[in-house]
Amino acid sequence: MNNLLRGWLNLPPQASTYARSLDLLHYFVIASTMVGATFVFLLALYFLTRYHRQRPYELTSRVKTGVPIEFAIIGGLQVLFLVFWVIGATQYQHVMNAPPGAMQVYVTAKQWMWKFSYPDGSASMDVLTVPLGKPIKLVMTSRDVIHSFYVPAFRAKHDVVPGRYYTIWFTANTPGLFNIECAEYCGVDHSRMLGLVQVLSDEDYRRWLDGRPVATEEGLAGASARGGGDLAERGREVASRRGCFNCHTLDGQPHVGPSWAGLYMSSVRLTDGRTVVADEAYLTRSMMDPQADVVAGYKGVMPTYRGALEEPEVAALVEFIKTLQNTPFAPSMQLPKVVPETQGQPQEPKP
């Protein structure tokens, strides 16, 4: 029944522990109000036909609704609305107050990306990795304007405001990937301020923490949880910091630019018809002179990082991309294939 109604109402999966009870209230509210509305409308239609004018200028008698009926209607509606309110307020309290001992993740929103900092000091961008079945408390602030952190599948949302910290929490009950959307207009790329919550089962989460790539069903190359370390790790951190993930994904999903999954040593078709191999030279040239080899199907909008990246950073990035060579191509998130315009985009994403 739950799933039937959920399907009819086009609701996302109930991927958090409180999503189901919120949806049950949803069904109750919508069903009872729609039944009431239908009744009112049908009553009006009935009166239209039953009391249709028989003759022109027909007169009527003065009929007033009895006060008891008025009070019954008003009273009944009031009771119904108060029931909605009581349940809603109780659920709201539950959703807005994290249980004690929840794992805390810091969230920083800025135009137009999400940054996550984990308790062990590591960080990630746009992808929030959490363990299954454990309460997670998000402590959120913004670097610039008001954003809103929204995970439809969890039924969780809260505004993210500069100068303040707000918290929400959830416990994910299903492994998988769930969309994060920004739900407060924040500028030109508001609709591209997307992310993912990656919910991992216990074992997968442990592996993710250890830094090894995770072979999940979705085939997402696990982002290493540890900062520092070897060069490839460094490369990941550089990529995060320099905003590479604005345009390049790690799971095979084409975005503004090609995905890095399976890129190294693959055959790449370019816009001018040539086909080249994506070796170290190609990767380095892409960063220094991006217009030289533009991949077919993409616009040449990548900025150059000549002078912006130091040599060790370039090397680190290349090493990182090499580690993604065998990542299975399995885009599970429906990111729009973005084709940005070259007209005056007034605000570049701040790196």
Partner 1 sequence: MTTIDVGVIPIPHGRGGVRRETYLNIAHTVKSWALTTDHKRIGILYLVTTIMTLGLGGAFALILRTEHLTPQMTFLDAYTYNRMFTMHGIVMVWLFMIPSIPTAFGNFVLPIMLGAKDVAFPRLNLLSYYIYLAGVVWVLVALWMGGCDTGWTFYTPYSAHSPSAVVPTVLGIFILGWSTIITGVNFIVTTHTMRVKGMGWFRMPLFVWNLYAVSIIQVLATPVLAISLAIVGLDHWFDWGLFDPARGGDPVLYQHLFWFYSHPAVYIMILPAMGVIAEVVCTFSHKNPSSYKAIAYSALGIAFVGFLTWGHHMFVAGMSQFDAAAFGVLSMLVAIFSAIKVFTWVLTMRKGSVVLRTPLVYFFAFLFLFVFGGMTGVAVATESLDIHWHDTYFIVAHFHFIMVGGTLTGWLAGLHYWFPKMTGRMYNERWGITGATLVFAGFFLTFFPQFLLGNAGMPRRYYYYNPVYQPLHVVSTVGSWLLGAAMLMTLGYLLVALFAGPRASANPWDSRSYEWYTPSPPPKHNFTKEPVFALDPYDYTVPFPGVGDEADGSLARDPGGAANG
Q: Closest CB to partner 1 among 85 and 277?
A: 85
Residue pair 97/333 in contact by the 8 Å Cβ criterion: no
Q: Closest CB to partner 1 among 191 and 271?
A: 191
d(CA 128, CA 287): 27
Question: In angstroms, what is the minimal distance from the CB of 319 to partner 1?
Answer: 33
Q: Which residues of 64-93 are buried (b: 16+ CB within 10 A; e: fewer)?
A: eeeeeeeeeeeeeeeeeeeeeeebeeebee
The radius of gyration of the chain from alpha carbons, rounded to an integer in Å, stands at: 27
Q: Find all residues with CB under 8 Å of 132, minimum gap 6, and list them.
A: 172, 173, 174, 175, 199, 200, 201, 202, 205
Question: In angstroms, what is the minimal distance from the CB of 74 to partner 1?
Answer: 6
Segment holding 140, helix H or strand E: strand 135-142
- Supply angle C-alpha 11, 14, 16, rounded to 5: 140
Q: Closest CB to partner 1 among 41 and 226?
A: 41
Question: In angstroms, what is the minimal distance from the CB of 200 to partner 1?
Answer: 22
Question: In angstroms, what is the minimal distance from the CB of 115 to partner 1?
Answer: 19
Question: In angstroms, what is the minimal distance from the CB of 85 to partner 1?
Answer: 5
- Supply angle C-alpha 157, 198, 240, rounded to 5: 95
Q: Closest CB to partner 1 among 182 and 324?
A: 182
Question: In angstroms, what is the minimal distance from the CB of 194 to partner 1?
Answer: 9
182: which strand partners?
149
Question: In angstroms, what is the minimal distance from the CB of 173 to partner 1?
Answer: 16
Tokens 């959920």 sit on residue = 6
Q: Closest CB to partner 1 among 193 and 314?
A: 193
Q: Is 179 helix (H, G, I), strand (E, B) or coil?
A: strand
Question: In angstroms, what is the minimal distance from the CB of 314 to partner 1?
Answer: 31
Q: Closest CB to partner 1 among 207 and 255?
A: 255
Q: Closest CB to partner 1 among 95 and 220?
A: 95
Tokens 């985009």 sit on residue = 345
Q: Closest CB to partner 1 among 9 and 281?
A: 9
Main-chain phi, psi angles of 283, to 5 degrees: -65, -45
β-pairing, 166-171 with 135-142?
Answer: antiparallel
Q: Is 50 helix (H, G, I), strand (E, B) or coil?
A: helix
β-pairing, 103-110 with 135-142?
Answer: parallel
